[in-house]
Structure 1
Amino acid sequence: MTKTNRHLATALLAAGLIAATAAPANAGTYTVGYCDAANPSAAGWTPSYGGSPWTYYGENCASGGTMQAWFDSGFHHAQGTVAQWTLTAPADTTFASVSAYREWKANSQQAYGDAHAIIATDKGRIDGCTLIYGCGGIAGNGFWDLSDAQSLTFAVHCTGGNGCPAGEVHNRVKNIVLTVRDPYSPTLSDVGGPLSSPNTTARYRSLSYNAADRGGGIYRRRLVINGNAGAPTVIDANSGDCRQPAAKRVPCKLTLSENFTYDTAALPDGSHTVALLVSDITDANTATSPTWTIAVDNQPPTLDAPQITGAEARVGTPLSCAAKNVVGQSPSLAYQWLRANPDGSDETPVPDATTPGYTPTEADAGKKLLCRVTATDGGGSTTKTSTLTSGPFASGQTVKTYCAGKPTGPTDPCGDYDADGQPNHADPDDDNDGIADDRDPRPFAVEPAATAPTISTSTSDTGSSAPAATSTHSTTTHSTSTQTVVVVGSGDGMPVLSHQEGIHGPANNGTGATNKASVLITGSRSRSVAWGRRIATTGRLVNVNGQPITGAVVTIQQRAILPLRRGYAPNSVLQTVGSVKTDANGRFRWLIPAGASREILYTYKANLANTTVQGLSRLRLAVRSRVTLRIDRRTLHNGDTMRLRGTVVSRPLPVAGVVVNLQAHVRGRGWVVFASPRTDSKGRFTARYRFRNTTTTTRYRIRAVTRMDSGAPFLAATSRHARIAVAP
């Protein structure tokens, strides 16, 4: 709090403005708050003091306190001693009324000497507390009519030739709400623009104008359409000051210019009358422009459900989407392919599938594909989606895998020449000789592996075997006197699942531990996430009766995968990455760290010393790669060369890099590939493109798209768009 003391003898300091004439009865008003919760400040008020030396003023509004003026209670004060706070009305306004919480004390009085705590205006005292009049002190809320005063003062002062004896004298106020009368309406000039023209039917139209005011300033505007004023818009918030209730005497700007845009789609087709209305901070004082007439034509286009065509619904077989019976004012068409369950549920947009043609990928296998077309013109947009039975999806058909029903001979596209679990069409090195197929003159020059792991069955613990068949996993059935149990394992270091009783240590991993456990993962077992993002998974550990196993350790393991091949990455190994403990309901939570695509295994051992696991669940996580793109300049001319560079930041990448498609969005053709550079082993790529046939200034959007490379542990991704302009 500020406290001031001076050796100065002056009379009561009155406000220095000449009182204005009474405002018209219909003048607008606005309120200004001081030293309250909304505006904990005394900014704008002027403190002053005079007379005897021990007079003070101060304020601590910021901490919820008051504005204060007081005498030192230990000293005599001479006639004319004063301390006060004064606020002057802004130009062209007057003060109509004020309310406040006040604490007045005037315990200083003798013959010909009285102290006062008062509220006053430039017209004189309004109210106060004086001991000789029976008021030693008062506290509480008050309201006062100020009769269009030009100034307002809260003060303590001493009158009488003998001065005021020592005693407590103070004037404290807060929660001040001042009503300001503003009798002047704003003015409008230079109203014009497309919105005032009868010769356009554009949906979005702008309007500009100038406005001026005397008093509190310009506040809001409205469009008056067909005689009805629309919703108001604050024109210029003036750094947050232009509001009601206000925190400043002149809260809004007195002059301003604006150009705004109006969306005529809110209006029905036909003719409409329009005018602009602007109000000052009172919202009662307004100015309205002359009325004009506009024409509106905003009906959106119409179209029927699009149709899908193609030889069959199969991974790798192209499909086409045709919009049907489109009617509108030269509408543009936007396409989006959708992936859904066979019953149409879980409809999800396919990333980057925004052209009429689309070739299904392995991610679409077993799904329905739909095509959504959006037609847009000046009147808006209409969207229609193909049916679940359109074209090749009739009779319940879904997308077949690439190899469904195809020959699987060693060198057929759906065969597996090198027996690595990856069909030839998706294997970049069919014979596993270290030379990629696109550089290998003899991609099938190496003999396939002689023998793959086998599946064997046993009818007893003695191990007698039934005939074997080729597989990548092994399964053994054990028989006991009371039950038959299954042991599932693999020859590549993957965990072995066994529910057999009696061949492991005692079941002691958790309360309710058992050799017959289930690890239940919440949600889908196949998920995707952007590079660099973590994903939380939850699950539950239960016994065969669905009862929770509590306080048990669930071990988390992972192995890198190639999303396109639906197999493990070459040279990948199973890694243990952590563990979690189940809660009282058998629940657990694991936050999968950021990284490449991988398979996550959640395993449970009834005894942590077991070599097999008694509960196992898998989650396949496909990670979308991330690519950046930079262009050397944004403005070019015909004949100039554009230089591009970027980075596929996802790791790891193949030593030979990956291919990146550089695309430009061409009006009427969609996204067009103009270059396909290959990155180095660190993901960096560069490219150049020279413009040769530009005859009119053309604007393009440029992006980089990583291809679904079967040798990289990532799904495709798209960079942010770069924008360029090419002039002749």
Structure 2
Amino acid sequence: MSVVRALLTMSPARRRWLTTVAALVLLAAAGAARAPAAEAGSYAIHVCRTPDGGRVEMAPWAIAKPSNASKWAARDNCGGGPFELELSPAGRHPADDYILARFLAPPDTSIDAYQFYRSVQLARRYGWRLRERTAAGFTEVDKCWATSGCAGKGDRAVPFGSSNLLEASGLNGIVSLEAVLSCAITDGSEEECPATAPGARLQLHGGIITIRDDHDPSFATTPSGPLVDTTRTLNGRQPVAIAVADKGGGVYQAHIEVDGRIVETHAIDAQGGACAPPFRAPVPCKLNASAQISLDTAALSDGEHQLRIIVTDATQTNSTAWGPVSIRTANTFCNPAPVSRALGLTTQILRGKRRPRTVVTTPYGRRVRVTGRLTTPSGAPVAGVPLCAVSQDAIANAPLRQIGSVTTDGDGRFSLVVAKGPSRRITFVHRVADGAVADSVVVRARARVELRGAHRSLRNGDTLRLRGRLGAGPYPASGALVELQTKRTGGWQTFGTTRTDRSGRFDYDYTFTRTVGTQKYVMRARVAQQPSYPYATGGSKPVRIFVYG
């Protein structure tokens, strides 16, 4: 059976039910697309239905009636159906009787657009009007007078059908909308309206009202707290207190921007969900609010960043910014900053039976054992916690490198054998809530130098070529300075200097001109401690050269 035939064979009640369900789905899709959605400087208030078809439990209408009004009803029951107004059919109504529901734009705003699904039923002599009001007066944009032959508007049985749609956009200066049911007298008489069904009845099935709001929010006070304290190094989640104000729809969200990118967004005061789209009240958010928001600095790279706090109102486009300020973060597991005194940490180097020290000088290639203990401020051991071991070579701006990790034993103690390497500072780090508990030892490794001569026997006037290399890098790009020395009575005397190449190799030529008889020369290469080469002073084994005069 085709879809058309199926529809034709359905009962009228069944067809009405199916049409209503389909219309509710369309309200979420086509209706939401056609509706005056929030644009720059505007926000949307949803009446009775949200764009996805969900129910709105309240209707933002104020009810007004004259003092001599007789029976009437306003059923604010959006949660279970439409918002309804009625002049009751149970009694007669005087000629000036009416009931009015007013939607009032918040102060300092106006109504930019609206879309309603409404249906109206009228008996003889009753009337319906929708008015757009400005500061200068009002305009009737939808009306129906029974005395003019109009018995109603739309179709109550199909709540979201096209005949119920009433919409307008691009409005200017509209401060309120007024839905009015009245005893409609147009012939000048004062005849009462009869007690007959349906009387005058309005159903507002759903709608969207767009509020124009051109006011940016503002900071009432300067943000304060650890997050914006430029004197601190930050780690973990850090708070900041803000106080903000707005005109119109109220303050909605605070965005934390780091280095030009929004990294976190916080609701300033959600008011139990009222201050969250889809909005249901004309002023959905607080006009004045304070909040403490925070940023997880661990999500940032360690180092300096530029931070701003941006506040938006209900439009989500009107905004104001505070900052930027410079913040510094340090969150890496092995980062020893900022320093914390929450626990006590001591480290030292063990060297056989010698007394432990915190600074030692060793030949190149020697491994060292570092031991330590982690305690509470009172001296109690801290057991079973991890520590990171990092190394920093003894040259300017050397990076930290992780070289291992350990876990404290039951007495809070730990031990790590550190492999051979250059002169360096070795630091053990345990991160805590406010920074890092850290302690260091220093290993000074002597430079390893190799030297050889091209000849061991020469005559006066011959040239000796000395060649050598440094045993380990990193080698400075400009070369390390090497001293060539000969042994004299009372010590070593430098007779020449040279620099290594980028691979640590060097050579030096020396011509003998003053040798008389047979002489034995003892020579060596020496590399003194220097800023660009991370080793302590070291020298080569001596070489012996015989020269005949």
Q: TM-score with structure 2 length normalisation?
A: 0.48
Q: TM-score with structure 1 length normalisation?
A: 0.37
Which structure: larger Rg? 2
Which structure is higher in helix share?
2
Report 1 or 2 for greater relative contact order, CA contacts < 8 Å, sequence distance ≥ 6. Answer: 2
